[in-house]
Amino acid sequence: MRTVARSVHQIQPSLRRWRDIYASGFGWRNHLVNEALGYGHNPINNVPIGRFNHMSSMFLKALLLDVARVSNGDMNKAGPFLEYDRRIAAGELLDGDSRQLVTLRELQRLYDELVENADKCRLDRYATSKKEERSRWLWSHFIPQSFYAPVKGLYLYGGVGTGKTMLMDLFFEQLPCNWRKKRIHFHDFMLNVHSHLQRHKGLQDPLEVVASEISDESVLLCLDEFMVTDVADALILNRLFRHLFSNGVVLVATSNRAPDNLYEGGLQRDLFLPFIATLKERCVVHEIGSSVDYRKLTSAEQGFYFIGKDLSSLLEAQFQQLIGESKAHPGEVEVVMGRTLKVPLGANGCAYFPFEELCDRPLGAADYFGLFKKFHTLALEGVPIFGLHNRTAAYRFVTLIDVMYESKARLLCSAEGSPHELFERIVTVADAQHMAPRTSSRSRKSDDLDLCVDNELGFAKERTISRLTEMNSKEYLEQHAAMREEKALSQEDS
């Protein structure tokens, strides 16, 4: 309590300074209400208060900066909030999103607690010798041991384009290099888990061994896009994370769904519910919201997303232009557990697939990750409008776009509609309930018989629409080109 009082006393001058500045402008309470609603007017000159032009975000930013000074004790120390401020000053990020600043407070809290408890959390990979690790592992098999980290993790959730991934990556990049840490997409993480389970098949409790291997490598685990759609994953997660948390793992995760909404309506969900309780116990749950989808603030680029039917000749011509003088030929790529994926045409880092070959066949994230380890560009022909008749293909398409986005790959495609039109017939249960029911004046023919009511897909579609929009932007394509150039230079150096 004394520490809290001392911290408050230290930031009081800043509070008084900002209170005086703020009082000279306009009312505190009215403005905060307007800020929460995202609109308002300055009573002095009747200027609209926009998301990027208001005093409350400046006030909050100054307050958080003072809190960072108090908690860090030294402004030269690293931390996500100071790095965020630096990127704004450098013009790398937009200023004024108060909701992101509140999320940064949580990330700064976690960062400070991890730094303070680094020894207790065993974060330094060089602090413990291999001999001590083996000894601890050996004794744990004779005497059950549990070691819960003294620090709670963080579970960030919110809508698409709110900056969840950016903020988690910013936090991760500020952590010391010698820490046992890992940042990975959730799809990729679960593929690794299944691969490890296959390797330890036949043991009494292979999940305990897998959890031990993960925690030995990574005490701090950052998982992006936490989303549970598969019953096998749902049944594994409860026991896996019970072992991970008892091994001292600290979890940082981002998701579109609140913990209570994970795997909603899934098979045998009652067996998944204990995981939700464990997650909420070991992590601070924080919602990040924004009225702006930052991915849609980019400028569109023409020539990579073709809308219409029977555009194969146009797509092939564009594909040929991308590969230059190289000659495309069939091939294959390796995926997990010795499997291979056949590629109809590929050359110069570009692969060509009809939609059916990638999304109408029993493929998954493992196949897609394998594909983009070898190819940086995908030409996808004939993406259809999704509905009840091709729901499974829609799921695979969502996973494909997730993997492409994670791999920073480039998409060239022909589709029957815009990203939004592709998913118009996919709705959540809540959306379906708000639709007008059939009446005697409406014929059955006027109903959309291809309407697909699916909660998981209904939530995931917004992320896919947003990512398709960004992947066709000038900024994304420039980043893709820069990444390829950097990779080529590193290969030349090696």
List, for residues 418-443, the tens digit of each pLDDT value: 899 999 999 988 888 777 555 444 44
CA gap 471, 415 in Å, rounded:
15
Mean pLDDT over 337-342 rounds to 86
Q: What is the pLDDT of residue 292?
A: 62
Minimum mean pLDDT among 37-46, 120-129, 349-358: which range? 37-46
Q: What is the pLDDT of residue 77?
A: 58
Q: Are residues 271 and 217 in the same domain?
A: yes
The answer to whether 256 touches 463, Cβ cutoff 8 Å, is yes
225 φ/ψ sector (left φ>0, alpha ψ -120 to 50, else beta):
left
Higher pLDDT, 42 or 402: 402
> pLDDT band for position 123 (50/70/90)?
very high
The answer to whether 252 touches 224, Cβ cutoff 8 Å, is no
In a domain, 197, yes or no: yes
Q: What is the pLDDT of residue 251?
A: 97
CA gap 193, 191 in Å, rounded:
5
User: Residue 172 has what DSSP assignment?
Assistant: H
Minimum mean pLDDT among 61-75, 284-298, 308-322: which range? 61-75
Q: Which of 265, 287, 309 is the last residue of a domain?
A: 287
CA gap 488, 37 in Å, rounded:
48
In a domain, 318, yes or no: yes
Mean pLDDT over 484-490 rounds to 84
- Is residue 71 scored above 80 in pLDDT? no
Mean pLDDT over 347-354 rounds to 96
pTM over 0.85: no
Q: Are residues 344 and 377 in the same domain?
A: yes
Mean pLDDT over 46-59 rounds to 41
- Is residue 65 scored above 90 in pLDDT? no
The number of distinct structural domains making up the chain is 2
Q: Are residues 277 and 328 in the same domain?
A: no
In a domain, 257, yes or no: yes
Q: Which of 266, 287, 308 is the last residue of a domain?
A: 287
The answer to whether 254 touches 217, Cβ cutoff 8 Å, is no
CA gap 57, 38 in Å, rounded:
12
Q: In the chain, pLDDT over 90 holds for what percent of residues?
A: 46
Q: What is the pLDDT of residue 30?
A: 38
CA gap 444, 152 in Å, rounded:
54
Q: What is the pLDDT of residue 445?
A: 41
Q: What is the mean pLDDT of the chain?
A: 79
Mean pLDDT over 130-146 rounds to 53
Q: In the chain, pLDDT over 70 holds for what percent of residues?
A: 74
Q: Are residues 273 and 341 in the same domain?
A: no
Q: Output the domain CATH number for residue 212.
A: 3.40.50.300
In a domain, 45, yes or no: no
> What separation in angstroms does the CA of 477 have from each of 380, 382, 405, 465?
17, 22, 12, 17
The answer to whether 237 touches 268, Cβ cutoff 8 Å, is no
> What separation in angstroms does the CA of 203 have from each of 106, 196, 207, 301, 331?
40, 12, 9, 53, 37
Q: Which of 264, 287, 310 is the last residue of a domain?
A: 287
Q: Are residues 179 and 155 in the same domain?
A: yes
DSSP strand pairing (377-383 vs 329-334): unpaired
CA gap 455, 462 in Å, rounded:
12
Q: Are residues 255 and 302 in the same domain?
A: no
Q: Are residues 227 and 362 in the same domain?
A: no
**Lookup result for tokens 């046992």:** 180
Q: Are residues 462 and 325 in the same domain?
A: yes
User: Residue 438 has what DSSP assignment?
Assistant: P
- Is residue 21 scored above 50 in pLDDT? no
CA gap 171, 113 in Å, rounded:
13
Q: What is the pLDDT of residue 11?
A: 45
How wide is the angle at C-alpha 408 spanned by C-alphas 313 and 472, nearest 5°?
A: 50
State the alpha helices, DSSP H only, in 270-364.
Answer: 273-282, 312-323, 355-359
Q: Are residues 313 and 219 in the same domain?
A: no
Identify the burial level of 48 via C-beta atoms within 10 angstroms of its C-beta, where 0-12 means exposed, 13-18 middle and 19 or more buried.
exposed
**Lookup result for tokens 């936490």:** 226
Amino acid at 363: L
In a domain, 364, yes or no: yes
Tens digit of pLDDT for each residue in 164-220? Answer: 888 999 999 999 999 999 999 998 999 899 999 989 988 888 999 999 999 999 999
User: Residue 421 has what DSSP assignment?
Assistant: H
Range ranked top by mean pLDDT from 151-155, 265-269, 461-465, 466-470:
151-155
> pLDDT band for position 296 (50/70/90)?
low
In a domain, 304, yes or no: yes
CA gap 379, 344 in Å, rounded:
11
Q: Are residues 279 and 343 in the same domain?
A: no
Q: What is the pLDDT of residue 448?
A: 61
Q: Which residues, other chains included, contact 200 with Cβ-Cβ below 8 Å and sequence gap of 6+?
A: 206, 209, 210
The answer to whether 366 touches 189, Cβ cutoff 8 Å, is no
Q: State the DSSP string of 352-419.
A: EEEHHHHHSSS--HHHHHHHHHH-SEEEEEEEPPP-GGGHHHHHHHHHHHHHHHHTT-EEEEEESS-H
Q: Are residues 327 and 431 in the same domain?
A: yes
- Is residue 375 scored above 60 in pLDDT? yes
> What separation in angstroms does the CA of 346 have from each of 48, 78, 265, 409?
53, 44, 40, 15
- Is residue 119 scored above 90 in pLDDT? yes
Identify the sign of the CA torsion 287, 288, 291, 292. Answer: negative
Domain that holds residue 248: 126-287
Q: What is the pLDDT of residue 90?
A: 81
In a domain, 107, yes or no: no
- Is residue 488 scored above 70 in pLDDT? yes
Q: Are residues 452 and 376 in the same domain?
A: yes
**Lookup result for tokens 């400070």:** 112
In a domain, 54, yes or no: no
